[in-house]
Structure 1
Amino acid sequence: MTPRPATACGDAPGATLFGAARRVAVLLPVPVDAPYDYAVPPEMEPVAPGDLVRVPLGKRIETGVVWGEGAADVPETKLRPILERLDVPPMPAPLRDLIDWCAAYTLAPLGQVLRMALSVPEALDPPKPRTGYTARVADLSETTLRATDARRKVLEAARAWPSSEPPPAAADLARRAGVGATVVRGLAEGGALAPVPVVEEPEITAPDPHRAGPALSPDQARAADVLRAAARGGFSVTLLEGVTGSGKTEVYFEAVAETLARGRQVLVLLPEIALTARWPERFRDRFGAPPAPWHSDMPRAQRRDIWRAVAFGRVSVVVGARSALFLPFPDLGLIIIDEEHDGAFKQEDGVPYNARDMAVVRGRAGAHAVVMASATPSLETVLNARAGRYAFVPLPRRHGGAALPAIETLDLRAHPPEKWQRQGMLAPSFLAPPLLDAMDATIRRGEQVLLFLNRRGYAPLTLCRACGHRMQCPNCSAWLVEHRHRRLLQCHHCDYRMPLPETCPACGTADALAPCGPGVERVAEEVASRFPTARLVVAASDTLLGPTAAAELMERIEQGAVDIVIGTQVMAKGHHFPLLTLVGVVDADLGLSGGDLRAAERTFQLLHQVSGRAGRAERPGRVLVQTADPEHPVMRALVSGDAETFLAVEAETRQAVMMPPFGRLVALVVSGLDERAVIEAGKALARSAPRAADVEVLGPAPAPLAVLRRQHRHRLLLKAARSVRVQPLVRDWLAAVKLPPGVRVKVDVDPYGFM
């Protein structure tokens, strides 16, 4: 869209002129493609790029960022003045560069990208002051107040209060004096104490970069030397590839220490920070202080405090989810992307960006090092390392002499699960006899078992045995997942919920609704019946409600208070359980369907990661992978441990059809409440599709998730050679089509998911 001057957004032109007033461009966190021009009142100068200001926009006041000099294409009589320059540090230039680059690459409105950097508007205002009290007189005789022991104690406490500390609140002063707070307030009213406003920011303990870390193995020491050198240099990207249990975290902690010793800030991105409870503890053990967290589950007040502490340079290390990339670090010196292959780094809603790739952009803009760590790096990252664009640091062995687990496939055709007794009836089983035998032997040895199934709830589908009716979400083209313990059916796309009905909604038959397929809860039910004395827990994103619950569970597992863990992918990431020696993958084929071009790669990464939970200490580990296709390349690569061959075949397959990373993809998802209007809009886009060499447009066709939150969805895919600049093509393509009311098009450059 073409932005209009701010004065044309609902109000008459500004009446206040400043002669030859300087004009600046101010970017606002609204869906616009360019900044608006505003006049700078002379008394407000100097105003510089990055300054945060408040400006009028129509009839409301907005907070924006000075983006540069004005364009001088708006008459001065129409300019409106900046109202206020905020008392916060300016937005750093590397962050502004990232916002510009991200908007241009993703084709998102520039102001919408800015909104991600101003996600906590209340952080732009100073904290509200509290009232503190200082002694106004030396003795009560200087006032008209009657001297009492309580009053004398308070006055003495106020006079003795350390000058290095802020004046105490009434409750703190009363506590020090051993009296009630009413005595303090009485002294203030009588003139013996002076109330003073006190503005306080939370105290933050700085990590100690000189604190001694653990002894490193020769492999780790060599890798740490490379990362320390990278942290001392300018822009670089380094891939730290290490097998599970090789100690990648301790190695990149050395780069963190080097950066902190140089007085610069560090950002560590983790894919599931809200559930990664042990990482902050490991950081605290290494550096003597915790990192500052950043994720969406944090209370708003805490997010406000962290945002301000980062902006003012009081925080030296942030560990966060992808959104932490848009925090206003004034002196960022190192970015680490742990588990760089993880799909959680791709944002699907709002601005569809990949934090892994944008971290490289921010590193280049800030001229500092970027480190990517993974046991199963993405194909894109591996190819960049092989081409020399990224440095490569391997960790081929587990730390401390621990051996990698032995991985075996269990062919479900040769070892079909046997039914078990549930409430006097035979129930379907999802665990093959060899896996059950291995579980029994493991528990008898006093060791732990992890059963992995990447599917929440009790069953992914519920249908009526009488009429065949399937319980479907009314808002999405998806089945409702049964959560038996909570007695409800839930859509995992829009969060629609309904109580588990007693009768079929279609035919009214009682007790006819049957679960189909397993979720972790259903596997747990079978395991509890087969191993009644075993201590069992279910670990999934909907059972681990936040970092505290996750930390408590991980501690119980580490201490040996759990025998069997049944978990989803939250159990695949970086956990170290010394007693866990057996991993059973319940359904290894689950992620191989659905038409996703990365299905095989994702499945390999996930199963490799979860396999790495076994045998991480002195006890050897074993992994049993249940599959109906043991000859699939993913299964063969897992068993052989030959990731190189698997990636080579995966690369060859994609290159043959020019799919990423050898070609470019842009997804256009057309959506709206009116299905007919969506279909017609898709056809109009197809008629206007770019026709150029090395460019192909596929579709429109219903998206795999054809209805989402009541919105009908059709998808087109633009496929192009790597050399093609797809952004101008798509921009011109969209400009040539007039969409009907109520229909929108979402553009996803380099799509990661295809639902």
Structure 2
Amino acid sequence: MPAPIIQVALPSPLRRLFDYRGPAGVRAEHLPIGARVRVPFGNRQLVGLIAGIAEHSSVPAGKLKQAAELLDHQSLLPDSLWQLCRWTASYYQHGLGDTLSSALPVLLRQGEPALARQDMLWQLLPGAYPEHPAISRAPKQKQAVQTLAMHPHGLSHALLSQWGLTRDALESLERKGLVQRITQSPHHSNEPRPLLREPALQPNDEQQAALDRIIAAEGFQCWLLEGVTGSGKTEVYLQAIEHCLKRQRQALVLIPEIGLTPQTMERFRRRFNVPVVILHSGLNDRERLDAWIAARDGEASIVIGTRSAIFTPLARPGLIIVDEEHDLSYKQQDGLRYNARDLAVYRGHLEQVGVILGSATPSFESLHNVQRGRYQLLRLTQRAGNAQPPRFQSLDIRSRPLEGGMSRPLIQLMGEHLRQGNQVLVFINRRGFAPTLMCHDCGWMAECRRCDARMTLHQFPPQLHCHHCGSQRPVDRTCPSCQGEQLRPVGAGTERTEEHLISCFPDFPVLRIDRDTMGRKQAMQEMLARIHSGEPCVLVGTQMLAKGHHFPDVTLVAILDADGGLFSADFRGPERMAQQIIQVAGRAGRASKPGQVIIQTHMAEHPLLLDLVEHDYARFAERELAARQQAGLPPYSFTALLRAEANDLAQTDAFLDGAVELADGLLARHRIQGLELLGPVPSPMERRAGRYRAQLLILATQRSALHQLLHLLLVELEQQPQARRVRWSIDVDPMDMF
């Protein structure tokens, strides 16, 4: 009997499955959907997942290759996660094989067994006791027996040195039949423990009302937990998770940045006496696989991770939390361009569990879903404890001289706060010493040779650095245009601001936090420990300082340049500006000390800025959503962005012009209504890393019409000769137009 035909999803950009004969000697009933197989693919061996069993194949029987090996005897993913991956591939117009590959840890993609790494433990055998005759003259063995007696379920081999034990002593005891070695998962524990390591805080009325609604719900429900900064959203998360754990369920918590992981882990481990695992790109491959398996097998009760953790299997799913749900980090910007926040909501629906989206500055998409009744709104308007919201003030810097990006009144105010024993946070979202280097004689500016962008000047080490393509070069000593020597930095970045602050406040530490200073593994934890010591200091940094940090001694937040988002080429610019301002401002006055926020601006009378300063984010969002609705922009419409790049500008133009022609034909042929094609146009940064870029925006009034066109268009595009000459991608629900 010939081997069955299996349809295999392989890690390939092609949007199709590949037919193979099943492995030799394996019957169809022993080939579960979702199991991995190793197959020949060209001159390579690839690992893919079985996506279907077929009776016939379009590939001639003589050319149908045979799978080399079946790697799993059951599906690697639970049914709900398999459905999530299928839906993700369909919605984001991506190949199923590439989608499934993105959902798996690297070692599983390489064919490693889906088995947890085992801990070795040493355990006393019956009849062993410290006065046993066999060890009367062996003090180290006697000590080992005494120590193991304190750990009836076994002592991990990794902890021997902490207890002063040696492997030689234990092996001697093993030969004498007094101890044995056992293995178990590092997350497994036989010892009964109370659920809580420390008691929960007493919730205020708003927190209790939110918890009552979350706990009372059954099945799927999505809540938008909108809480002002410092209102205790995390405490709501913790108590909702406590209820989830009491029902013997697991909780999945998504956070936007790796930098937030240590403090989040610490808070969860301090509260709960259960295994907690983390999943993010900072782990090595083995650590990621161990955490993934612990979650899949139900040994990890709480899983914390960045966006890719949304694909982590759970044995007993009970609750999904997306903290800072508005954050752009949840949107993957290359390859499979998914939004983890949206996948969290769909996964909650598939697994019939609750989903909490938390933010002080909710995304307009989530606010719109509240308006439509799809999400339930929970509001926290009061700061926890006695903390009061910070006072906002605009500082008009028109005609004022700036030094290091700061005005003299701001410097004076910072000095007052520092002398009172407080901390000051200075926010500037530009790394480096200065945004660029300019010739004072002729106006030449240092530009990247591979991008349509200016090089950023860095001082330590001295270099010009493009933050778009990563290219670097030495700082010019003379102007390449006029050979003049009057080269001067223009504008201020974190380095220049830090330098000026050091000169202004020589008696106080100035701590810079940006990607350049936080490169070491423990750098962020060390910096946070120093800040939490409470010593008066100045913190200067980028958006790494804005998210989720609790700085009880910060009483002044200074935002040096708030104007960029008001006139952004991207329609989401004002929304991001407002979110950034509110999030940064939320670091001030979080404890008993009152907080103050100073916003330096050239546009103090701008209505959007006035809404933020004089009212709140809700008023700002209301005004902006009304403008979006009038303009027919998301979330009141649906978009996809077709991007193309090539070494030759003519190639991108030819490809996108062909895409427009194909799309127009499909719209007419299938009578698809309510769509508009905008472009093709050059990307806002036309040349990046030496390649030319252009894009086509597809705007639709109905989501179904957009996807109908995309399903038809992409099939035809893949067959076009121009498609092989350019690198192209489709981005459904793009969050960044650049």
Query: Same fold judged by TM-score > 0.5?
Result: yes
1:443 aligns with 2:425: no
Is there any run of 5+ residues in structure 2 with no aligned partner, and where? 128-133
Distance 1:532 1:159 in 2: 57
Cα deviation code 1:721-750 (max 9, x no counterpart) = 135421221232344442424312211111
Give the match for residue 66 of structure 1: 50
Distance 2:346 2:456 in 1: 39
* Residues 536, 562 of structure 1: 8 Å contact kept: no
Distance 1:131 1:382 in 2: 51
Which of these residues, 109, 118, 124, is aligned with residue 113 of structure 2? Answer: 124
Which of these residues, 254, 257, 265, is aligned with residue 272 of structure 1? Answer: 257
Cα deviation code 1:110-133 (max 9, x no counterpart) = 111111112322553547889999
1:352 aligns with 2:352: no
Distance 2:193 2:371 in 1: 35
Give the match for residue 39 of structure 1: 22
Which of these residues, 4, 9, 19, is aligned with residue 27 of structure 1? Answer: 9
Matches within 5 A, 1:359-378: 359-378=344-363
Give the match for residue 13 of structure 1: none
Which stretch has the larger CA shift, 568-577 or 327-336? 327-336
Distance 2:71 2:726 in 1: 39
1:277 maps to a residue whose letter is: P
Give the match for residue 254 of structure 1: 239
Structure 1 residue 278: Cα displacement: 1.9
Cα deviation code 1:456-508 (max 9, x no counterpart) = 11111112234433222233222111221221221212221223333334554
Give the match for residue 9 of structure 1: none
Which of these residues, 206, 214, 225, is aligned with residue 201 of structure 2? Answer: 214
Cα deviation code 1:11-40 (max 9, x no counterpart) = xxxxxxxx1654443322333323334426
Distance 1:411 1:513 in 2: 29
Which stretch has the larger CA shift, 375-384 or 687-696? 687-696
Which of these residues, 47, 62, 85, is aligned with residue 71 of structure 2? Answer: 85
Give the match for residue 283 of structure 2: 298
Normalized against structure 2, the TM-score is what? 0.87
1:709 aligns with 2:689: yes
Which of these residues, 28, 38, 48, is aligned with residue 54 of structure 1? Answer: 38
Residues 278 and 127 (structure 1), Cα distance of their counterparts in 2 relative to 1, 3 Å cut: closer
Distance 1:246 1:727 in 2: 40
Residues 674 and 153 (structure 1), Cα distance of their counterparts in 2 relative to 1, 3 Å cut: same
Give the match for residue 130 of structure 2: none
Distance 2:608 2:94 in 1: 36
Structure 1 residue 258: Cα displacement: 1.4
Which of these residues, 435, 448, 452, is aligned with residue 473 of structure 1? Answer: 448
Distance 2:606 2:309 in 1: 38
1:548 aligns with 2:537: no
1:61 maps to a residue whose letter is: Q
Q: 3-state DSSP class of the match of 2:320? A: strand
RMSD: 3.6
Q: 3-state DSSP class of the match of 1:359? A: helix
* Residues 390, 585 of structure 2: 8 Å contact kept: yes
Distance 1:42 1:314 in 2: 32
Cα deviation code 1:237-280 (max 9, x no counterpart) = 11111111100000111111111222222111111133453222
1:486 aligns with 2:486: no
* Residues 332, 339 of structure 2: 8 Å contact kept: yes
Q: 3-state DSSP class of the match of 1:277? A: helix
Matches within 5 A, 1:106-255: 106-122=92-108, 124=113, 126=115, 165=154, 176=165, 201-203=185-187, 209-211=195-197, 212-230=199-217, 233-255=218-240
Which stretch has the larger CA shift, 733-742 or 556-565? 733-742
Distance 1:59 1:149 in 2: 65
Give the match for residue 387 of structure 2: 402
Residues 166 and 637 (structure 1), Cα distance of their counterparts in 2 relative to 1, 3 Å cut: same
Which stretch has the larger CA shift, 335-344 or 51-60? 51-60
Distance 1:107 1:412 in 2: 47
Distance 2:580 2:537 in 1: 23
Give the match for residue 722 of structure 1: 702
Distance 1:248 1:79 in 2: 55
Structure 1 residue 83: Cα displacement: 1.6
Give the match for residue 731 of structure 2: 748
Which stretch has the larger CA shift, 154-163 or 80-89? 154-163
Q: 3-state DSSP class of the match of 1:413? A: coil
Aligned pairs, number: 710
Structure 1 residue 89: Cα displacement: 6.5
Residues 680 and 168 (structure 1), Cα distance of their counterparts in 2 relative to 1, 3 Å cut: closer
Distance 1:655 1:128 in 2: 53
Give the match for residue 421 of structure 1: none
Cα deviation code 1:565-597 (max 9, x no counterpart) = 112111111222221111111001123333111
* Residues 207, 291 of structure 1: 8 Å contact kept: no
1:601 aligns with 2:575: yes
Distance 1:46 1:329 in 2: 24
Residues 276 and 312 (structure 1), Cα distance of their counterparts in 2 relative to 1, 3 Å cut: closer
Q: 3-state DSSP class of the match of 2:653? A: helix
Give the match for residue 455 of structure 1: 430
Q: 3-state DSSP class of the match of 1:581? A: strand
1:286 aligns with 2:271: yes
Q: 3-state DSSP class of the match of 1:681? A: helix
Residues 220 and 129 (structure 1), Cα distance of their counterparts in 2 relative to 1, 3 Å cut: closer
Structure 1 residue 207: Cα displacement: 9.3
* Residues 275, 300 of structure 2: 8 Å contact kept: no
Q: 3-state DSSP class of the match of 2:522? A: helix
1:672 maps to a residue whose letter is: A
Give the match for residue 647 of structure 2: 673
Q: 3-state DSSP class of the match of 1:408? A: strand
Which of these residues, 497, 503, 525, is aligned with residue 499 of structure 2? Answer: 525
* Residues 509, 538 of structure 2: 8 Å contact kept: yes
* Residues 446, 455 of structure 2: 8 Å contact kept: yes
Matches within 5 A, 1:313-328: 313-328=298-313
Distance 1:207 1:707 in 2: 59
1:124 maps to a residue whose letter is: P
Distance 1:476 1:111 in 2: 33
Distance 1:734 1:657 in 2: 28
Structure 1 residue 443: Cα displacement: 1.1
* Residues 118, 185 of structure 2: 8 Å contact kept: no
Which stretch has the larger CA shift, 499-508 or 148-157? 148-157
Q: 3-state DSSP class of the match of 1:483? A: strand
2:712 maps to a residue whose letter is: D
* Residues 225, 379 of structure 2: 8 Å contact kept: yes
1:252 maps to a residue whose letter is: Y
Which of these residues, 680, 700, 710, is aligned with residue 700 of structure 1? Answer: 680
Matches within 5 A, 1:610-649: 610-649=584-623
Identity %: 36
Structure 1 residue 158: Cα displacement: 10
* Residues 28, 62 of structure 1: 8 Å contact kept: yes
1:582 aligns with 2:549: no
Residues 177 and 290 (structure 1), Cα distance of their counterparts in 2 relative to 1, 3 Å cut: closer
Q: 3-state DSSP class of the match of 2:258? A: coil
Q: 3-state DSSP class of the match of 2:370? A: helix
* Residues 281, 290 of structure 1: 8 Å contact kept: no
Give the match for residue 433 of structure 1: 408
1:266 maps to a residue whose letter is: A
1:688 aligns with 2:678: no
Distance 2:428 2:156 in 1: 56
Give the match for residue 144 of structure 1: none
Give the match for residue 294 of structure 2: 309
Cα deviation code 1:124-143 (max 9, x no counterpart) = 354788999999xx9xxxxx
Q: 3-state DSSP class of the match of 2:696? A: strand
Q: 3-state DSSP class of the match of 1:446? A: coil
* Residues 88, 124 of structure 1: 8 Å contact kept: no
Distance 1:389 1:160 in 2: 57
* Residues 678, 697 of structure 2: 8 Å contact kept: yes
